[in-house]
């Protein structure tokens, strides 16, 4: 049997009382690959490159029940110009789209660095959060925080600088451990400007107002 936990509830479990741990990030230049990324429609891998008001998101959804083939998309945000270019990389027959984008950030299921504060806004106290350790990874310091509720334990590595989650692990009541989120190839180097060059010939696709912290995705915890 699969155990399901709403994203907001998991955020609450992980967040607890993190306000003293720099919940608000001010980072504007970074890149990473989330593997795994926050699951929305099953497992996902997300590549993120941000430079101030511009951000590139490449999402890969591997084959999954109801999705026989991998699905790959590319999104290019310009938060200053309020534009969003979208491409389906896994199907060249689908034309790229251009939409007006009114949110100042990408959705949190794509970017957990800019969305760190939005995750914490979903806090509902499910149990006390405590620091169980600390770790230096690639020269950066992380606090290892742990919380338990309803026989489920969540452990998160939080950056002391930036306040974002580097890694999240969930241990279910049957003692199975699942990595819920892990950022790899994290860098704060400025990317080439060409990273954000928009595709040509995109069709107008309307207006999007997606914002971080509002996802109601259901996360599957544990093995089938």
**DSSP SS3 for 195:** helix
pLDDT of residue 128: 66
The pLDDT score that the predictor gives to residue 102 is: 94
CB 117 within 8 A of CB 23: yes
Q: Are 100 and 71 in contact (CB under 8 A)?
A: no
Q: How far apart are CA 176 and CA 100, in angstroms?
A: 43
Stretch 80-93: mean pLDDT, rounded? 95
pLDDT value of residue 209: 58
Between 5 and 59, where is the model more confident?
Answer: 59
- Please say whether the beta carbons of 55 and 101 come within 8 A: no
Rounded mean pLDDT of the chain? 79
Average pLDDT for residues 39-67, to the nearest whole number? 92
Where b means 16+ CB within 10 Å and e means fewer, 18-35 reads beebbbebeeeebbbbbb
Which residue did the predictor score with more confidence, 101 or 115? 101
Sorting pLDDT into bands at 50, 70 and 90, what band is 146? confident
Nearest to 70 by CA among 93, 43, 52: 43
Question: CB within 8 A of 47, min separation 6: which ones?
Answer: 31, 32, 33, 34, 56, 57, 58, 59
Mean pLDDT, range 3-26, rounded to an integer? 43
Higher pLDDT, 116 or 19: 116
- Does position 133 have pLDDT exceeding 70, yes or no? yes
CB 149 within 8 A of CB 126: yes
Q: CA torsion sign, 96 to 44 to 195 to 75? A: positive
DSSP state of 96: P
Cβ atoms of 34 and 45 closer than 8 Å: yes
Q: What pLDDT is stored for residue 4 in this prediction?
A: 39
pLDDT at residue 90 in the model: 94
Q: What is the pLDDT of residue 41?
A: 77
Alpha carbons 27 and 85: distance in angstroms, whole number: 23
pLDDT at residue 115, rounded to an integer: 85
Higher model confidence: residue 177 or residue 221?
177
Q: Give the residue ranges of DSSP H helices in the chain.
A: 7-15, 116-121
pLDDT over threshold 90, residue 119? no
- In the structure, what pLDDT confidence band is assigned to residue 147 with cuts at 50, 70 and 90? confident
Sketch the domain layout of the chain as residue ranges: 3-127+186-198
pLDDT tens figures, 176-199: 888 989 999 999 999 999 999 999
């Amino acid at each position: 049997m699969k155990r399901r936990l709403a994203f907001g509830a998991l955020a609450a479990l992980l967040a607890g009382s993190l306000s003293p741990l720099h919940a608000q990030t001010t980072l504007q230049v970074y890149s990473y690959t989330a593997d795994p990324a926050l699951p929305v429609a099953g497992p996902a891998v997300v590549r993120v490159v941000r430079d101030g008001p511009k951000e590139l998101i490449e999402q890969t959804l591997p084959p999954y029940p109801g999705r026989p083939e991998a699905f790959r998309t590319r999104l290019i945000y310009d938060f200053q110009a309020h534009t969003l270019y979208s491409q389906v990389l896994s199907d060249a027959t689908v034309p790229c789209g251009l939409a007006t984008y009114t949110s100042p950030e990408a959705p949190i299921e794509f970017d957990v660095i800019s969305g760190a504060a939005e995750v914490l806004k979903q806090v509902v106290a499910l149990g006390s959060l405590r620091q169980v350790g600390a770790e230096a990874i690639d020269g950066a310091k992380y606090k290892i925080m742990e919380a338990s509720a309803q026989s489920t334990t969540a452990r998160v590595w939080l950056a002391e600088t930036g306040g974002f989650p580097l890694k999240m692990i969930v241990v279910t009541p049957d003692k199975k451990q699942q990595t819920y989120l892990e950022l790899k190839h994290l860098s704060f180097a400025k990317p080439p400007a060409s990273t954000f060059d928009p595709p040509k010939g995109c069709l107008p696709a309307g207006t999007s107002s997606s914002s971080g912290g509002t996802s109601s995705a259901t996360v599957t915890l544990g093995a089938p």
